Amino acid sequence: MTGSALLALVALATVFGAHGLSRARWTWRTPRIAIGLWQALGLGWGVATIGTLLGVALLPYQRGIASGLPSMVSDNAARLDAVHMAALLAAVALTFVLLTMLATAVFRVVRARRRHRALLALVARGDSAAPDALVLDHPGAAAYCVPGVRSSKVVVSAGTLALLDDKELAAVLAHERAHARERHDLVLLPFYSLRQVFPQIRLVGRCLDAVELLIEMAADDRARRHRPAKELATALLRFAAARPGPAPSGTLGVAAADDIPVLARVNRLLRPEPQPRRIRFAATLAIPVLVAVPALLWALPL
Amino acid sequence: MDAVKGLGELERTVMEVCWAREEASLAPATARDVSRALAGERDLAHTTVMTVLDRLAKKGFLDRERDGRAWRYRPVASREGYVTELMLGALDETGDRDAALAHFVRSVSQDEIDVIRQALAEVTLEPPA
């Protein structure tokens, strides 16, 4: 009983944690730690939620999850009544849906990338202005990376070459190479698939937005190691100014500059703020704790 | 690795021949047409050209139809069509936001553009530090 209650508490805490973290700004000072925190939060939520359901299902065995499961298997779940059975089914269903959607997301991404690479091979060209990158003959401004296991490709459009000067272009290429090197696509994948599972839940969408922004900031930070921050900042602004969206966003007016993700990135590039050591320490410590606590509650015979 | 790269380059060259024929309003290419068109820049075995055409058809980049004993190959889409497809994916306008690509900057709304233009003016006017 205690174990299930504690797991439910942890599950609830991760939801509130995600809520808070999706609105937090301090995370922007150390995007890498924040990304780790998001991953731990996601994993902790999954383990705790499934654990809660399993724990309720296994209550009749009074031995927690890790020892309760074998007991249930050995007596063919004879002690489960309707409520416990419902909890068991819910646990199995949730696990199944989460894993299947993740696999589907992987499959879709792999397929889309294969198509993308095949097309690039046919129509993209090399250009001395952007060494190690592929160039698409299109006037629009675009720069992106197609991540891959063996070879990642950085792609820019002809419009980008026209828009940016040499230094800005070098900063953009460094940013994109950082995505490829740090495999940020793999970080995004579980959050992307979680949004596929719960498309109506706005919190999940906000989590994805937050992680995406943090990933861009992490790539900005790496690019800044090799190039002056101002070059990347002006490149970001030129890009954003060259790419007005197809329609106004739903937001009514702009409250603060930092509400526009690209301006938040520019501001932290031009005026970086150090993360107070206390916060850095606490956030780093929270990462293993968020994973270990629910795992421990699975193992204990509570 | 080199062989793979060579094949990719070949596919591209062959596609370019097919696109050029379509632009010139010529009949869809046979393997012989492609061989002939490439004869000047590179001499390829006829079987190689047939293999490449076959691969491109299997990948869905060429449609083929019988013409007597030969196949005639027609590009499924134009070069510009493919560039546009790639750009739409890159610009995140396919409506299906996915994790296949990492985008440098997402599109911003009209109401945000002015703020960004102003920031750009400020940053570029600042004397270099």
Does the structure show a pLDDT above 50 at B22? yes
CA distance A273 to A21: 19
CA distance B66 to B78: 21
- What the block records as the tokens of A31 is 């995007």
Mutate to test the interface with B, among A108, A116, A123 (most CBs of B within 10 A): A123
All residues of chain A having their beta carbon less than 8 Å from the beta carbon of residue B61 are: 118, 122
Mutate to test the interface with A, among B101, B110, B114, B124 (most CBs of A within 10 A): B101
Series of mean pLDDT values for 10-residue runs along chain A (302 residues): 91 97 95 97 97 94 89 88 94 96 91 89 90 90 85 90 94 92 90 91 93 93 93 91 55 53 91 94 97 94 79
Range in B79-83, B91-95, B106-110 with the lowest mean pLDDT: B91-95
The predicted model scores a pTM of 0.87
- What the block records as the tokens of B72 is 């005639």
Position B2 scores a pLDDT of 39
- CB hemisphere CA count around A98 (13 angstroms): 15
The CA distances from residue A163 to A160, B103, B120, in Å, are 5, 17, 13
ipTM (interface pTM): 0.81
- Neighbouring residues of A192: CB distance < 8 A, sequence distance ≥ 6: A105, A208, B98, B99
Strand arrangement of the beta sheet that strand A143-146 belongs to: A133-136, A153-157, A143-146, B102-103
Position A257 scores a pLDDT of 59
* Bridge partner residues of B67 (DSSP): B70
Per-domain residue ranges of chain A: 1-123+278-302, 125-243+258-271
Angle at CA A37, nearest 5°, toward A9 and A198? 65
Residue range B2-75, CATH number:
1.10.10.10
CA distance A109 to A105: 6
Does B101 sit within 8 Å of A146, measured CB to CB?
yes
Pairing of strands A133-136, A143-146: unpaired
Angle at CA B92, nearest 5°, toward B89 and B93? 90
- Size (chain A), residues: 302
CA distance A258 to A291: 31
Position B19 scores a pLDDT of 95
Does A245 sit within 8 Å of B109, measured CB to CB?
yes
Position A15 scores a pLDDT of 97
CA distance A264 to A259: 7
Range in A178-182, B69-73, B106-110 with the lowest mean pLDDT: B106-110
Q: Decide if A219 contacts A178 (C-beta within 8 A).
A: yes
Tell me which range, A116-125, B95-104, B120-129, is most confidently predicted by mean pLDDT: A116-125
The interface residues of chain A toward chain B in range 37-96, judged by CB-CB distance below 8 A, are none
Position A252 scores a pLDDT of 42
Does A260 sit within 8 Å of B108, measured CB to CB?
yes
Residue B114 — very low, low, confident or very high, per pLDDT cuts 50/70/90?
confident
Per-domain residue ranges of chain B: 2-75, 80-125
Angle at CA A129, nearest 5°, toward A124 and A133? 40
All residues of chain B having their beta carbon less than 8 Å from the beta carbon of residue A270 are: 123
Does the structure show a pLDDT above 60 at B93? no
Tell me which range, A228-232, B3-7, B83-87, is most confidently predicted by mean pLDDT: A228-232
* Bridge partner residues of A137 (DSSP): none
